[in-house]
Structure 1
Amino acid sequence: MNIRDATAQDAATLAAIYGHHVLTGVGTFEEVPPDAAEMERRRARVGELGLPYVVAEAAGQVLGLAYAAPFRLRAAYRYSVEDSVYVAPEAVRRGIGRLLLAEVLARCEALGVRQVIAVIGDSGNAGSRGLHAALGFEPAGVAPGMGWKHGRWVDVVFMRKSLNGGDRTPPDGPGLSL
């Protein structure tokens, strides 16, 4: 398994993996899958901010993606990011999400990020909750019934991981350029 930076050439595969989750799950509240051009625009924007956007590749096939993006676009949030992880349906439960998220966290730590928030769609999403817990995320709250998707109300579960001293000490750098 090779974890590498996503590139523009991955856009169609990124769209296919993410699109599957848009159409079949509640891990994202998006309802219409973005096309390859939109996925490339999103990937490029993350890169412009200097944040990680990585893929897992085996035998030349991309099997998953993960990235960190600004949590919110207000200056006070410049030390916080939100993570996202999506694995191809044929590759779930093989440890790929863990490899991807671990790489994103390591890169965020190197950038001086202080807080990583996971915004998990669905209280019943045991896979995502378990993945984040295994990598040191702690529960940070639940917002019941925040989205309507696939004919039901869906909760949002927040989990948080502190890096670089988290909120125990003042920041020592400028943070993200938002």
Structure 2
Amino acid sequence: MLEEEYQPRRQLPPHLRKAPPTESPFAFTIRPATARDLPDVREIYNYYVVNSTVTFDEDQMSLRAWRARFAFLTKLGMPFLVAVSPSGDVLGYALVSPWKPKRAYRYTVENSIYLRPAATGKGLGRALLAALIDASKQAGLKEIIAIIADKNADGSIKLHESFGFKETGRMGRVGYKFDRWLGTVMLQKSLK
């Protein structure tokens, strides 16, 4: 064996060593969405339309459709929030929309939360859901419903349950996307 194999490896003194690179903390602020956020909202949503079954939409939404939805939700006073990075990039969004069009359902809404893929797993979904629940209470809403795909959505179900959502039902084989049948899990939370 070579003599150098037995030599302890020399190290630089601590003051000359490079500090390990530090990751900057994941930072964001949550605020009401504006019309200027809609191109980013569309991009985030359309990513999931094309790449996942968390939405049963098969066609990407146009900016025009998002503008119409934004105007409708704004007119109704429904919360629509975005999370933005310190540089102003939209990292995700959360909104509620009417559960059903009949007037008797006016205090019941369905929530939607979508994040940029790079923003997942960092607590942003939790922060958006908390803010959305608070904003919904302030808007005078009484019930929030979450309709979640029954495949590959365990994280979303657990997140909602951690906020007190209770499972109220399941429907099997109600959606067909990517050549397979999908069901839904319905959860509900009272805001009283």
Which TM-score applies when normalising by structure 1? Answer: 0.89
Whether 1:50 and 2:77 are equivalent positions in the alignment is yes
Alignment of 1:4-43 (within 5 A): 4-43=31-70
CA distance in 2, matches of 1:69, 1:39: 13
Letter in 1 for 2:36: Q
SS at match of 2:56: coil
Identify which of structures 1 and 2 has the higher relative contact order when contacts are C-alpha pairs closer than 8 Å and 6+ apart: 1
* 1:18, distance to aligned residue in structure 2 (A): 0.2
Letter in 2 for 1:159: L
Identity of aligned residues (%): 37
* 1:112, distance to aligned residue in structure 2 (A): 2.1
Decide which structure has the larger Cα Rg and report it.
Answer: 2
Q: Deviations over 1:8-37 (max 9, x none)?
A: 111111111000011111111110111222
Letter in 2 for 1:48: K
Q: Deviations over 1:68-123 (max 9, x none)?
A: 11100112211111100001111111111111111111011122211100011224
Q: Alpha carbon RMSD of aligned pairs, Å? A: 1.0
What 5-or-longer segments of structure 2 have no aligned partner?
A: 1-27
Letter in 2 for 1:38: A
Letter in 1 for 2:46: G
Partner residue of 1:116? 144
Q: Deviations over 1:129-149 (max 9, x none)?
A: 011111111111110011000
Question: 150, 153, 158: which one pairs with 1:130?
Answer: 158
CA distance in 1, matches of 2:47, 2:83: 17
Letter in 1 for 2:45: Y
Letter in 1 for 2:68: R
Question: 109, 116, 123: which one pairs with 1:88?
Answer: 116
What 5-or-longer segments of structure 1 have no aligned partner?
A: 165-178
CA distance in 2, matches of 1:127, 1:21: 15
Partner residue of 2:175? 147
Which TM-score applies when normalising by structure 2? Answer: 0.82
Letter in 2 for 1:152: R
Check the 8 A contact 2:80/2:96 in 1, yes or no.
Answer: yes
CA distance in 1, matches of 2:186, 2:111: 11
